[in-house]
Structure 1
Amino acid sequence: MHPENVNILAIESSCDETAAAVVQNGKTVLSNIISSQVEEHKKYGGVVPEIASRRHCENICWVVDGALKEAGLTLDDLTAIAVTYAPGLIGALLVGVNYAKGLSMATGLPLIPVHHIRSHIAANYITHPELTPPFLCMVASGGHSHIIEVLDHVTFRVIGRTRDDAAGEAFDKAARAMGFPYPGGVYIDKAAKLGNPDAYKLPHPKVDGSVYDFSFSGLKTAVINTFHNAKQKGVEVDTNDMAASFQKTVCDMIAEKLMGAAKELGYKKIVLAGGVSANLGLRERLKTECKKRNFDFYVPTLDLCGDNAAMVGAQGFYEYKSGNLADLSLNAVATKDIEKM
């Protein structure tokens, strides 16, 4: 073991994945264990916070043990412990935070608080080791839709954000109207390949006061109303066409604002992150838009798009290097701006 190596044990429990990973020097993933609850929550059509918290309690010990074993390390080989402390489901976050605090107290290892959205961005440092700030990033997930200036590894400025539903939330709710199970984004992505993206004219909601803010609520409602009205009239809605039209509209909205912000602010490095970055339609659309403008485009591999602990370890490395450490008074926070620690 080289003494210069920084080995970080990372823990993620912000929603319905209990995850642990060991990441070396911010970019080398030695292990990445994820216990997903998606099948259990599927029958409820979304994540049930109480159930998620209970499963985290049941899973966190073996997930952390598994990460250490897969990495071939012991607690003595670690430099620090990183944990997602905000934002997310408060009960779920508390499981990870308290476990990490207990481990830090028992071992004397430094404790690194990591912001969930910062870690989604950091997933790109694993996939693209050559990527360095500054760059412009679109973070699209179930709970967040932000355009963010990444000024350095620990300094961020929000340029635009959703005023209501996040992109991932809109995907899930529109998917439910189309008859797809939770989580619906992957089903819309597949159906969209079979449909006509110009079949249905859907609204592009505008937001007063900020040219780069998003609003996906009206788009989601338009899809739901189309199905309700068709049912009342006894006519069929072509699900593949609706999926294609909905996905194209979301891609149009994101591409328009992201490319506009890049032009105004002078960025030529564009990054996509978050759970919705797994959407193949969005990945291809932004890749095409960037190619037109001679921009460099970065997106994580599919296994790093959803919630995982490797991304927490990646961001944790930069927080550690910057001296952003916590003591045992660290608490979970349900809502937290990415700009502040």
Structure 2
Amino acid sequence: MIKSNYLLSLLIFLIFFVSCNKSENKHINTYNNYNNININLIRTADNFGNLFKLEKQISLTGKLIGSIQKLKYLSSGDIYIIDAATKHLNVFNSSGKFLRTIGGIGEGPGEYLTANDFVIDDSLNIYILDGRLRRVTVFDANGNLKRTIKINDFGEHMIIAKDQIYLYSSMNMGGGEAASCYDLITGHKMFEFAAPTSFIKMLISNKYVGVVLDCNCLEYFNNKIYVINPLQYAIRIFDLSGKEEKIIYGKSDNFQPIDASRKVDRANPLTEYVKSLLNNIRINNSLIIISFISFVGSQKPSTFLDFYTLEGVRLNSKSIICPDQFPRISFFPMDIDKEGYFYGYTQPSPNNNNLPNPVILMYKFLAYEK
């Protein structure tokens, strides 16, 4: 009997040992795809300075900018910025000097009412998404009008892949699929996708409305589409035909999920029900970067960063809080380029009732190893 118990214990130990080895090997194999990233630095980081080093501050001059809704730093050094106040798309050089505004405000050819999002392709063609007019206007690198693509759906966010336009809006979640795909050449609508998750359906039934955030809720990487909804900490992955392949469910001590069973009373502020919101997703060098804003543990909101592999493994042990100089607002217009530079911005305090222009903050991402 004693011998039988001993053999049983040994068998259980061996099963446990093999299982642990398989789990560890799975993570090792995952990390082997990230040879140029210091995974250990991300895993052990406990503050922003562990991962990012401020390299440059770029003051914007020559054009009054209210605040930045979205920014893109090109390899040429040009900086493309949507002004959150005017909804114009403006271009500055690497020193922050204003170069030009793309398009004009209006409903005519080469005009738009709201620049909700923009994409710049490899030929430096510029695509501006106008959610109000429901169209995409295409310009060349110098800002000359090329053509206009009419769309039938409201969109806040846009990507272009394989001659197709993909649009997404969390505002659409109450009416079925939140995303749609159009042929870039013909402008014909091809299909809809990204129906609400069961969690979002419960929010809809309890009177939670779509949250419009001037951020980036849509990303494209290696023929996959990555979608986030501000109200749920989840990364949904689709193929280019709109088929959902996977959902990565995130978790953070600083992100408080919504109680989806609680009905919203319109007499109360939304912040009574919503304490945390996702507000950006970026994928660079096979690394998923998620940002979210949260009121958890504080009267003032803070912005946090989390890091994931493409397989859905969370790398950082604790969410990284962003510096106080970053605007603490619902949207977070971050960008990261192929060279490993991370971009944000700060809004200087008013001077003699004049609001200075935003300042672009350029950080070196220290986890990228050369």
Q: TM-score, normalised by structure 1?
A: 0.27
Return the structure number with greater strand share.
2
Return the structure number with greater helix share.
1
Which has the greater radius of gyration? 2
